[in-house]
Amino acid sequence: MRISSFLMLLTIFSMPIFSAIAQDEARSTLQDQQNVAITIYNENLALIRDQRKLQIAGGASTLAFRDVSARIRAETAMLKSLSDPGKLQVYEQNFDYDLLSPQKLLEKQVGKSVVVIRTVNSVEISEPAEVLSANNGVVLKIGERIETGIPGRLVYPGVPENLRDRPTLVMSLNNHGALQQEVELSYLSGGLGWKADYVAQLNASDDKLDLSGWVTLSNSSGASYRNARVQLVAGDVNQVRDEMQPLLSMAKSERSMALSAPRMAEESLLEYHLYTLERPTTVAENQTKQVSLLAAEGVPIRKELLLRGADYYYQSSQGQLGQKIKVAVYVEFDNRESAHLGLPLPKGVIRVYKKDSAGNAQFVGEDRIDHTPKNEKVRLKLGDSFDITADKKQTDFKRLPNPGKGNTLFESAYEIVLKNAKKEAVTVTVQEPVPADWKMLEENHPHEKATSNTAVWKINVPAEGNATLNYRVQVRM
């Protein structure tokens, strides 16, 4: 039985089923790598510059450049010689992203033969089989019968062409220079990204905060980058979107997290900002890594309790506009050197904490900021106040005689009662977006015309008390 099985395997495997990868193909792996640099952008994009020392045959040859990103944009790949410029030419390149796996091996064998080996009463039995389908399972033709599923071990005669164990860029070269050269392969890749995260801690009096910033790197590109020089570009870089869907998608898996203390150096780059990690670091495949971006202490802040209105009720009769309306809580600070900052802040989320009476830091809110240049203001909404509420109603509304062709004149009055359950007095900002051409007729607190369509009041509300704002406004539509 075993002799006949051996002869069967020999017969099947002698058939010209597979064309093997060229024997004269030169291969380059990470062992040849001298340096690697990655520049990562915000929108799931990175520029890889991979420098290697290679033995390259003279004249025409084939080079398999292994361990490239599985998310490489092959049309952007460019190989150049650093040690012998102009002597190395690439006239064809192919990206082999079909990776070796049991499923891929089975799919490549559809319509061809394999050997099924199963054990019966401790004896191995071999049978030739034709693979009819590998779609959502396997369908085999064994002799005159059709079987689904894998009845035993499948034995293949070899590895199909272009099915590789790792992503590989195969290039046809023409070398007129030295046999040993230092080369650089540069290309754009997906699967690499970064984002900024910030942690802020308020002091007891809510007038200062300590701010720390971290950059989180993520790598799901299908490759690792050892001792890489890492740079990050902050800004919105325009990309032309392909009409075709990506050929390859990879699941994102956060396998580990590393913390690093050094800050990042910053410089301008065209209309963007470039951050450079001060020392090389390894960005492993399927890894999330954090590196320090900034640290600032004692940043002065301004806290604001804001009640914002709407513009719809200035041209119709409404009556009651709401009770126990939430008052929003904002903090803002200046990104200036005088405020212990003055650095371009990449967009990200700022999470704010404050210590309780026992000295434990408690989360009090978060907000997202956009890219913020130096000397600009940062404003964060932390949430809604529990103790500060408002009751609001329209106390009068009338449509006045038409003052002119094409115009309508409205007059309305409002009462806003602000309530404070705290044991200390607070100041609430009331912001009303009054539409069109308007004029304030009456008010019991002076307003400021912040913009052409915004009236703002600053109302002091006593501890465990309330304050009332009354105003009458005329609107020409």
At a CB cut-off of 8 Å and minimum separation 6, what does 387 contact? 420, 421, 422
pLDDT tens for each residue of 128-151: 988 888 888 888 888 888 888 877
Query: What integer best gives the mean pLDDT of the chain?
Result: 86
Look at residue 312 and tell me whether its pLDDT is greater than 80.
yes
Look at residue 464 and tell me whether its pLDDT is greater than 80.
yes
Look at residue 298 and tell me whether its pLDDT is greater than 60.
yes
Question: What token pair was written down for 135?
Answer: 């779609």
Across the range 119-132, mean pLDDT stands at: 86
Across the range 290-299, mean pLDDT stands at: 92
Look at residue 257 and tell me whether its pLDDT is greater than 70.
no
Look at residue 166 and tell me whether its pLDDT is greater than 90.
no
Report the share of the chain in percent with pLDDT over 90: 60
- Phi then psi dihedrals of residue 375, to 5 deg: 75, 10
Q: Looking at residue 382, what is its pLDDT?
A: 97
Q: Looking at residue 16, what is its pLDDT?
A: 44
Beta-strand (E) ranges in 301-436?
302-308, 320-334, 348-355, 361-369, 377-400, 409-420, 426-433
For 77, half-sphere exposure in the C-beta direction (CA atoms, 13 angstrom radius) is: 23
Across the range 397-405, mean pLDDT stands at: 80
Contact 209, 299 (CB under 8 A): yes
State how far the alpha carbon of 325 is from the alpha carbons of 210, 322, 350, 391, 470, in Å.
31, 6, 26, 6, 17
Q: Looking at residue 237, what is its pLDDT?
A: 67
Residue 384: strand, helix, or coil:
strand
Give the confidence band of 236 by pLDDT, cuts at 50, 70, 90.
low
Across the range 174-195, mean pLDDT stands at: 94
Lowest mean pLDDT among 4-8, 334-338, 374-378: 4-8
Q: Which long-range contacts (CB under 8 A, 24 or more apart) does 308-312 make?
A: 308/431, 308/433, 309/392, 309/430, 309/431, 309/432, 309/433, 310/433, 311/433, 311/434, 311/435, 311/453
Give the confidence band of 245 by pLDDT, cuts at 50, 70, 90.
very low
For residues 362 and 236, the model is more confident at 362
Across the range 151-165, mean pLDDT stands at: 76
Contact 302, 331 (CB under 8 A): yes
Dihedral angle over CA of 220, 222, 223, 225, nearest 10: 0
Look at residue 190 and tell me whether its pLDDT is greater than 50.
yes
pLDDT tens for each residue of 410-459: 999 999 999 999 999 999 999 999 999 999 999 999 999 999 999 999 99
Look at residue 259 and tell me whether its pLDDT is greater than 60.
no
Q: Looking at residue 272, what is its pLDDT?
A: 76
Across the range 181-204, mean pLDDT stands at: 95
Q: What is the C-alpha separation between 421 and 463, in angstroms, rounded? A: 7
pTM of the full predicted structure? 0.72
Look at residue 393 and tell me whether its pLDDT is greater than 90.
yes
Q: What is the C-alpha separation between 275 and 283, in angstroms, rounded? A: 16
State how far the alpha carbon of 211 is from the alpha carbons of 296, 297, 377, 389, in Å.
5, 6, 15, 30
Give the confidence band of 103 by pLDDT, cuts at 50, 70, 90.
confident
Q: What is the C-alpha separation between 192 and 283, in angstroms, rounded? A: 10
Q: Looking at residue 269, what is its pLDDT?
A: 66
